[in-house]
């Protein structure tokens, strides 16, 4: 018997012909057998119903005009007990109204008597295609459900009214919800995290010309009721072909363990840096005592060696201080004391401070003040550190005789500070990484420039703590421009 393919599985569709006319029953059976179907027959509505109760048929060919139980009586029973079974009604010319009635009652198609083998084959193959599509959809649905339910990440989808259409067990566990069903309910009825609800609102109202993934860190528990968990929440809208928002998808990823490790690492680094700094400083002092000749005469050669040693120790002390700074910023200690900072003033001051080291390399610093700059709520000392770091780098990574241009502009509620140099520049592949700890661009030209690779990570952390961003553009051999964006007070 010929097999029909559906998805990956082979199966032989089962057909039942219910007709009181022997000629039709046997004719249909023969034609359909030849097509490779498994065909059973029943000579009355009653017998047909008995067979349907015993086994499942993919297709039922049902004569409408039969004595006792008619096709119209059989049809609703089939539809209620086997909703997936496709019913094709066989009708006489005189019963066209009945066939319309049968279609309304859920028949898939009808075939008027007398019909040719070809007509029968066409109707049946259409029905087979339909059942196959239904089976594929059902299989796909259950596969998707199984997959989503087994994910360790929490997944939830909503419609455009913020009603839940899908939420896996991991999602419910992560938001600590132990109630009954949530499908069909609005997210506000069971999620009590304003940050998460806000993301869903924002994703749903995202304009057509924009598609961004909203990302937030959300804390749950930690109130005695449940251990604190830190979740990374990603939320995006999903759209139809015209770009209309149909709903949202939220994915939660548990990063509690990562956060703990990160904190432990920071604590360890700050402990070690702290412990290293004091003995280093005392070694420096002792070297200075020797260098100053207080412990006896020092030859030129000895002084040279001791000077080199002091330089190395100085860089270690500097690195320990920067690591401590970074640890402090990461623990969230720096955003506490903010004041209204005027960037025109701050940049001018920094220009003056850096003038001497710039002049030593014959570098000129230009600063164009902008009138009517709004103040920015920021930690002054940290902002000084950001600007000073960027200017120091611009000087350090420029050959003699370059220019540094500083400017401040206003862009969409942000204050933008530009630090532009005509220095060494950087290859494109390094630009992504220069904000990573200890990352330094390594080539012939930077080889003799000393540094820790911690300046830009500190700069970036400070800016992030002020809800801002930093961007860099650079062309190797021509120069770089760093742009710092900080939201200003009036926003």
Question: Which of residues 112, 374, 453, 487 is near ligand ADP by CB under 6 A?
Answer: 453
Q: Is the dihedral of CA 58, 63, 68, 73 positive or negative?
A: positive
Q: How far is the CB of 235 from ligand ADP (least distance, A)?
A: 33
The DSSP result for 307-369, as a single string, is HHHHHHHHHHHHHHHHHHHHHHHHTT-TTSS-EEE-HHHHHHHHHHHHHHHHHHTT-EEEEE-
Is 314 a binder of ligand ADP (CB under 6 A)? no
Q: Which is nearer to ligand ADP, 154 or 451 (CB)?
A: 451
Q: Which is nearer to ligand ADP, 45 or 425 (CB)?
A: 425
Question: Which of residues 164, 434, 463, 465 is near ligand ADP by CB under 6 A?
Answer: 434
Residues 6+ apart with CB under 8 A from 449: 396, 397
Q: How far is the CB of 440 from ligand ADP (least distance, A)?
A: 3
Is 452 a binder of ligand ADP (CB under 6 A)? yes
Distance of alpha carbon 270 from alpha carbon 283, whole angstroms: 20
Interface segment toward ligand ADP; rule CB under 6 A; list 23-31, 144-152, 345-353, 416-424: 416-424
Is 247 a binder of ligand ADP (CB under 6 A)? no
Is 397 a binder of ligand ADP (CB under 6 A)? yes
Cβ 424 vs Cβ 446: under 8 Å: yes
Kindly state the number of chain residues that form the binding site for ligand ADP, as judged by CB under 6 A: 20
Q: Which is nearer to ligand ADP, 175 or 327 (CB)?
A: 327
Is 318 a binder of ligand ADP (CB under 6 A)? no
Interface segment toward ligand ADP; rule CB under 6 A; list 20-28, 91-99, 190-198, 450-458: 450-458
Q: Which is nearer to ligand ADP, 380 or 440 (CB)?
A: 440
Distance of alpha carbon 105 from alpha carbon 102, whole angstroms: 5
Q: How far is the CB of 263 from ligand ADP (least distance, A)?
A: 23
Is 480 a binder of ligand ADP (CB under 6 A)? yes
- For 464, the 3-state DSSP assignment is helix
Is 230 a binder of ligand ADP (CB under 6 A)? no
Q: How far is the CB of 140 from ligand ADP (least distance, A)?
A: 50
Edge-to-edge order in the sheet of strand 59-63: 38-42, 14-18, 59-63, 86-91, 109-112
Where b means 16+ CB within 10 Å and e means fewer, 327-342 reads bebbeeebeeeeeebe
Q: Is 10 exposed, middle or buried (0-12, 13-18, 19+ CB in 10 A)?
A: exposed
Give the strand pairing for 59-63 and 14-18: parallel
Q: How far is the CB of 359 from ligand ADP (least distance, A)?
A: 18
Q: What residue ranges bind ligand ADP (CB under 6 A)?
A: 393-394, 397, 421, 423-426, 434, 439-441, 446, 451-456, 480
């Amino acid at each position: 018997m010929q097999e029909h393919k559906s998805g990956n599985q082979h199966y032989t569709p089962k057909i039942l012909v219910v007709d009181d006319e022997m000629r039709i029953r046997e004719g249909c059976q023969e034609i359909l057998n030849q097509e490779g179907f498994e065909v059973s027959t029943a000579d009355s509505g009653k017998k047909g119903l008995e067979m349907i109760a015993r086994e499942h048929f993919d297709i039922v060919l049902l004569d409408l005009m039969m004595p006792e139980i008619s096709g119209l009586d059989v049809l609703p029973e089939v539809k209620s007990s086997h909703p997936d079974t496709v019913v094709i009604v066989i009708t006489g010319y005189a019963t066209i109204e009945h066939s319309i009635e049968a279609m309304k009652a859920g028949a898939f198609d009808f075939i008027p008597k007398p019909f040719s083998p070809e007509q029968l084959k066409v109707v049946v193959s259409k029905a087979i295609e339909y059942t196959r599509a239904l089976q594929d959809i059902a299989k796909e649905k259950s596969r998707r459900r199984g997959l989503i339910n087994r994910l360790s990440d929490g997944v939830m989808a909503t419609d455009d009214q913020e009603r839940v259409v899908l939420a896996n067990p991991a999602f419910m566990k992560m938001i600590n919800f132990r109630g009954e069903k949530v499908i069909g309910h609005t997210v506000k009825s069971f999620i009590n995290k304003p940050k998460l609800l806000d993301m869903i609102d924002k994703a749903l109202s995202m304009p057509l010309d924009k598609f961004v993934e909203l990302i937030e860190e959300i804390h749950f528990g930690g109130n005695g009721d449940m251990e604190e968990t830190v979740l990374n929440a990603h939320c995006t809208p999903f759209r139809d072909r015209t770009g209309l928002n149909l709903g949202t998808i939220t994915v939660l990823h548990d990063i509690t363990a990562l956060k703990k490790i990160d904190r432990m690492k920071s604590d360890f680094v700050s402990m070690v840096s702290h412990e290293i700094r004091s003995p280093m400083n005392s070694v420096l002092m002792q070297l200075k005592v020797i260098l100053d000749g207080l412990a006896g005469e020092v030859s030129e050669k000895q002084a040279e060696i001791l000077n080199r040693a002091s330089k190395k120790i100085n860089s270690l002390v500097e690195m320990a201080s920067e690591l401590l700074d970074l640890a402090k910023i990461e623990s969230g200690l720096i955003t506490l004391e903010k004041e209204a900072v005027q960037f025109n003033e701050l940049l001018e001051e920094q220009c003056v401070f850096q003038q001497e080291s710039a002049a030593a390399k014959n570098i000129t610093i230009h600063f164009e003040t902008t009138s009517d700059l709004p103040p920015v709520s920021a930690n002054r000392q940290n902002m000084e550190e950001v600007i000073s770091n960027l200017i120091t780098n611009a000087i350090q990574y420029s050959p003699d005789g370059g220019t540094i241009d500083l400017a401040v502009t206003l862009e969409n509620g942000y204050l933008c500070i530009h630090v532009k140099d005509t220095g060494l520049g950087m290859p494109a592949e390094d630009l992504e990484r220069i904000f990573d700890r200890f990352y330094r661009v390594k080539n012939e030209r930077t080889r003799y420039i000393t540094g820790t690779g911690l300046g830009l990570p500190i700069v970036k952390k400070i800016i992030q703590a002020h809800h801002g961003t930093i961007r860099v553009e650079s062309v190797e051999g021509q120069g770089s421009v760093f742009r710092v964006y900080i939201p200003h007070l009036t926003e």
